[in-house]
Amino acid sequence: MDIKLIKTENDYQAALARLEVIFDVEPNTAESDELEILGVLVDEYENACFSIGMPDPIEAIKFRMEQPNNF
């Protein structure tokens, strides 16, 4: 297991590629630990680099009112 911090876009892409490879590993293995740690690192990187702020409350209400009622 060779895990390092995700600091660049290349690091991020490499982590995503590794996650794809080990996504369906057996629980309680070294690879499942790696999967969990990489997941946390990817989440932190995405929150820092691709964060989406909260919408304006009035705009959110207007948007919802414009949506079709699909009940």
**Gap between the Cα atoms of 64 and 32, Å rounded:** 40
Domain positions in the chain: 9-66
Q: What is the pLDDT of residues 15-27, one digit of tens each?
A: 999 999 999 999 9
pLDDT at 53: 84
Look-up of token digits 């290349």: 10
pTM over 0.75: no
SS3 37: helix
| 3 compared with 16, residue with greater pLDDT | 16
Average pLDDT across the chain, whole number: 92
